[in-house]
Copies of this chain bind each other. A is one copy, B any other.
Amino acid sequence: MINVGIIGATGYVGIEIARILSAHPGFKITSAVSQSFAGKRISDVYPALNGILDLELESLSIEKICANTDFFITALPHGVSGKIIPELARRGKRIIDHSADFRYRNTGIYEKWYKAKHQMPELNELAVYGLPELYREKIKSARITANPGCYPTASILGIAPLLAEKVISTEGIIVDAASGISGAGRKTDLPYQYCEASENFKAYGIAVHRHTSEIEQEMSLLAGKEILVSFTPHLLPMKRGLLATIYAGLEGRYSTGKLLDLYKTFYRDEFFVRILKEGMFPETRYTSGSNFIDIGLAVDERLNRVVIISSIDNLGKGAASQAVQCLNIMNGLPENAGIERAGMFI
């Protein structure tokens, strides 16, 4: 068993990682850091874990947590990791980070969209964008893996084959997406209160959501040219699940079947990418609780456009289980160890 520490263990991403690792054949959680709940057991905070994971939560002591552990997953609010990660890195630890800090090749773009000075530019060079389907080889030896955002995961994997194969126009790409409320984290803000969020649907971050820049970076790299994207996220009245509906104009004529073949080829070795049959489209419940991404598409021949639908669990492939996928890769374990199951679909 390989030792792993989780820093920020009681947020929704942290606890989902803890839940997965508690049943993982290859890892052992050696420390679970939570400033809010230090001294309590994880199962006091999340009683579902009673008898399964009763580890005591601890406040942060770099020395203590580093003593017997070489891998850390940080699931912290943006900005907080700047004090912790350099300490871990200095001690030679390998890190999977959930903040946006290490997702950008160009820290200037990070600084512009996140309206903050990058705190660790020197570490940024050690970081790999943790999307295994695109960066598997680099992740294997990464010092720091920057776990992608949930919307970028669904968007980038949803469109990658079309950009790589240059069958769509790089102008006018639109990503219209919607996420379950757990994507906001374990917050007590009023908009996420049951009576405010139930029976409601809304867009947010219109034209300014920070994931836009992350999506654009990876789409541009795939296309080999700069791409700007119109991205609109929405908030769904449900806990988990994320669906992206992606619109692009075709360069040339393609049938739906032809494009699906192209996807199947592009992702032929990917366990976690499921390309749906023609006429079938993803629903969030099919990926809920799992690390799968489901993709379906249709060519609109009237408009010579394509509509791609991709679906993930925002806490799964969009966060926690993707981190475990990276952790498996970084440790040479089978990539789907501990995350090969279907989630609860009823």
Contacts and interface: CB of A to CB of B under 8 A. Distances in A.
Given A194-B194, A195-B192, A281 B346 contact: no
A346 B49 contact: no
Given A48-B342, A187-B193, A247-B230, A201 B241 contact: yes
Contact of A232 (B180, B201, B245): B245
A3 interface: no
Given A194-B198, A249-B172, A303-B230, A239 B346 contact: yes
A152 to B, nearest CB: 17
Contacts of A268: none
A201 B48 contact: no
A207 B300 contact: yes
B234 A178 contact: yes
Given A287-B48, A343-B48, A236 B203 contact: no
A285 B23 contact: no
A302 interface: yes
A243 B182 contact: no
A289 interface: yes
Interface stretch (A11-19, A160-168, A257-265): A11-19
Contact of A282 (B194, B202, B232): B202
Contact of A234 (B16, B238, B245): B245
A188 B193 contact: yes
Q: How many copies does the complex hold?
A: 4
A180 B237 CA distance: 11
B51 A274 contact: yes
Interface string A219-247: 00000000010101010111111010101
Contact of A23 (B245, B300, B340): B340
A305 B230 contact: yes
Interface residues of A, number: 87
A283 B200 contact: yes
Contacts of A230: 247, 300, 303, 305, 307
Given A12-B346, A200-B241, A51 B271 contact: yes
Contacts of A299: 207
A282 B15 CA distance: 19
A47 B187 CA distance: 23
A344 interface: yes
A276 interface: yes
Contact of A237 (B49, B238, B274, B309): B238
B236 A237 contact: yes
A120 interface: no
Contact of A286 (B16, B50, B189, B236): B50
Interface in A321-346: 340-346
Given A186-B190, A188-B193, 14 more contacts: A16-B346, A23-B340, A48-B288, A53-B342, A178-B234, A180-B199, A186-B195, A194-B237, A195-B239, A204-B281, A206-B298, A207-B300, A207-B307, A236-B237
15 contacts: A12-B346, A16-B346, A22-B341, A49-B345, A50-B292, A52-B341, A186-B193, A188-B189, A192-B195, A195-B346, A199-B239, A202-B283, A228-B303, A230-B305, A239-B346
